[in-house]
Amino acid sequence: MEANPPWKCDQCGHPINSVEDGWVEWLNGSIAEQWEGALRGLRLVHHKPASPNADQGGCYHDEAYWFAAKRYTVSDLPLTSFVGPDGLVTLLAFLADRRFADPDEVLELIKRLHVPNYEGARNSFEAAIAEGVFEPRSTPGYYDQRELLAVLNWINNEQ
């Protein structure tokens, strides 16, 4: 399946315009911590050469800060590792092995990368529902294509 750029960078907020321009990173808890729930802070950011802040270290987690503050280390992989069927399975394995303290972080990234029209609509659900754009019938954040397209159309008409 095709990936659907652009994505909004979780650090700088600017668009990530291609799979090659994206990077996925997360924080790894201290070695004293148990295996399950040791990971957190999963996010999608610019690959450094594509970052608007490339000359100031880019959009990556600040490794020195996280180690000093919490003894967390930073793990990362290129966005190419998370797209297509193999990328989806990698993300499903993140859920299966329960290493992330908050599974919603993994579920959100799965939707952003693998559900068409989700990324463009995701920050407007509450506003769109308040405006009556669609009537939510499912778990919040788990909307079908018709609902996502209604939100995107509403966003486009608002501009």
Rule CB under 5 A: which residues touch Zn ion?
9, 11-12, 46, 51, 59
Alpha-carbon distance of 130 to 114, in angstroms, equals 26
What are the residue ranges of helices labelled H in the chain?
Answer: 63-70, 84-96, 103-114, 118-121, 125-130, 145-158
Least distance between Zn ion and beta carbon 53 (Å): 7
Least distance between Zn ion and beta carbon 57 (Å): 11
Residue closer to Zn ion (CB basis): 6 or 84: 6
Least distance between Zn ion and beta carbon 29 (Å): 25
Least distance between Zn ion and beta carbon 11 (Å): 5
Residue closer to Zn ion (CB basis): 51 or 117: 51
Residue closer to Zn ion (CB basis): 44 or 83: 44
Alpha-carbon distance of 15 to 150, in angstroms, equals 22
Max CA distance (Å), the chain? 52
Q: Is residue 44 a contact partner of residue 79, using CB atoms and an 8 Å limit?
A: yes
Residue closer to Zn ion (CB basis): 51 or 134: 51
